[in-house]
Amino acid sequence: MAKAKKEKKSSNLLVILLILILLLLIVLPPTFRSLFPREDEEEKIEETPKLNNLTNLSCRKKTTDNYNVTVNNIYQNNDISKVTISYSQVVNDQNTTETPDANGTSDTTTNTQTQTNDTTSQTQTNTEQPTTNSPVIDNVLGEMDVLRTIEAITKNETDTNHQFSIVIKNFGNLPIPNEITFRLQSLTVQKKFYENLGYTCTIVNT
């Protein structure tokens, strides 16, 4: 009788031991995977949030040659990926003055002299040529001429609106032209650069 009880007790201990071993086999693998992930899994975990780390630097200014300029710099993981430059020509109304006639009524006349002077001044400004390795400041026509010569830049132009898209991957292994390198600086440096030229800048993170 005592022998039977001893064998039963040993059998129960064996069953408990087997259950503990099975539990360990179930629990340990996921625990180890969580505590000691493989290198490729670590890289995926690190890269996933970076895919959505986009920052847009938007800067605006009205130039002396009568254009509204908007520049949008897109940064992905702190690296410049795209720059879009938009030039929108401002169309001013004619300057008018009222001159009373002999009957005391007023005639509206156009100040053609002011327009002629403005046109002459604008023509002189537009004929200035951009200097290599430096930005064309307040000379929109000169800068647009430079951007048109770069094949990797996408152009979308109408009579009064001109848009140029600089997508870094479009250059592939080609060197970045010196004429646009001043637009491809780091976020902090780029913001200060535009603000020093009189632009108003905002930063949006997405």
CB atoms within 10 A of CB 98: 9
Residue 25 clears pLDDT 60, i.e. is over it: yes
Q: Among 17-26, 83-92, 146-155, 189-198, which stretch is predicted with the lowest mean pLDDT?
A: 17-26
Q: Is the pLDDT of residue 81 over 60?
A: yes
53 phi/psi in degrees, rounded to 5: -85, 80
Q: Residue 62: pLDDT above 90?
A: yes
Residues ≥6 apart with Cβ < 8 Å to 84: 71, 72, 74, 163, 164, 165, 166
Report the chain's terminal Cα–Cα distance, integer Å: 78
Least confident of 39-48, 76-85, 179-188: 39-48
The pLDDT tens digits for 5-20 are 666 667 788 888 889 8
Phi, psi of 153, rounded to the nearest 5 degrees: -90, 135
Contact 88, 67 (CB under 8 A): yes
Read off the amino acid at residue 39: E
166 or 23, higher pLDDT: 166
183-201: pLDDT as tens digits? 999 999 999 999 999 999 9
